Amino acid sequence: MNRQKTILIIEDEKDISRILRDYLTKNKFEAAIAGNGKDGLHMMELLQPDYIILDIMLPDIDGIDLCREIREKSNVPILILSARGSDTDKVLGLGFGADDYMTKPFSLSELLARINAHFRRYESMAVAQQDPDSLSLGNLVIDKKAYKVTVDGKEAALSAKEFELLYHLASHKNQVFSKTQLLDAVWGYESYGDENSVTVYIRRLREKIEADPSHPAYLKTVWGVGYKFSLD
Ligand code: CA
């Protein structure tokens, strides 16, 4: 999870690239240097870096063109370094797929703060997007890895589709789904749009997980719309 992130520095001024590399290495990153655009592209494909610091003035290729070229191959975040301080360059840089921009001379600690902020944002997004393996809701535990549901610690025997329907609803707590949306999400394109099967599955699920299936505590009907999983 916390593997070291690799940062590729594409910069021809050796003083700057070495200071950057040492500073990043000291701050728990792996850092590699490419001294021109051609090496930069090559190393990008070789190292698959997690982040690129790109100088705009390179001996062999314009940094903006290189930025565009990298962007065609990869979504890796790119921070552009430039000695030119004008706003035009700033807009131009961001328009060609760069994620951030700093003007030389820059502060190492500010650069590090920006890189760290990027990875924090990225990681919190990755966590939010990940489906949880196990959901614990009320007296239900829904274990996605084992395809197993327990009610008050006792296993409920669900079919695979029943499980998937329950997991879909429970992992989007309080969100209302129409029968069509549930068909799409759980049965996908193999289904022939028979919304009645959703009704049947919901009824079966209620019989298996609800203490009183006619007054469900979890799988609620939203009249005229569809269903939601809610503890309210
Ligand atoms: Ca340069």
**Level-2 CATH architecture, domain 6-124:** 3-Layer(aba) Sandwich (3.40)
Q: Walk across the sheet containing 134-137 and list its strands.
A: 134-137, 140-143, 148-151, 154-156
Q: How far apart are CA 23 and CA 36, in angstroms?
A: 20
Q: Give the H or E element holding residue 71.
A: helix 63-73
Report d(CA 103, CA 94) in Å as an integer: 13
Cα of 174 from ligand 1 centre, angstroms: 53
Let me know if 191 is exposed, middle or buried by CB neighbors in 10 A (0-12, 13-18, 19+). Answer: middle
Residue 166 to residue 77: CA distance in whole angstroms: 37
How far, in Å, from the CA of 11 to the mean position of ligand 1? 6
Distance of CA 62 from the midpoint of ligand 1 (Å): 10
Portions of the chain given CATH number 3.40.50.2300 = 6-124
How far apart are the CA of 13 and the centre of ligand 1, in A?
Answer: 5
Cα-to-centroid distance, 109 and ligand 1 (Å): 20
**Residue 92 pLDDT > 60:** no
pTM: 0.56
Residue 18: Cβ within 10 Å count = 14
The CATH class for the domain spanning 128-229 reads: mainly alpha
The confidence score (pLDDT) of residue 119 equals: 85
Separation of alpha carbons 104 and 111, rounded Å: 11
Q: Examine the pLDDT at 222 and tell me if it is beyond 90.
A: yes
Q: pLDDT value at position 131? A: 65
CATH 1.10.10.10-classified regions of the chain: 128-229
CA–centroid distance, 25 to ligand 1, in Å, is 21
* Tens digits of residue pLDDT in 145-184: 888 999 999 999 888 888 989 999 999 999 999 998 898 8
Q: What is the DSSP letter of 133?
A: S
Question: Does the structure show a pLDDT above 70 at 84?
Answer: no
How far is residue 206 from each of residues 92, 109, 213, measured CA to CA in Å? 57, 56, 5
Report the percentage of the chain scoring pLDDT > 70. Answer: 88
Which pLDDT score is estimated for 146? 83
pLDDT digits (tens, 9 = 90+) for 104-150: 889 999 999 989 988 887 776 666 556 678 889 999 999 988 889 99
> How many other β-carbons are positioned within 10 Å of the β-carbon of residue 208?
16
Whether 31 and 25 have beta carbons less than 8 Å apart is answered as yes
Q: Band of the pLDDT at 1, cuts 50, 70, 90?
A: very low
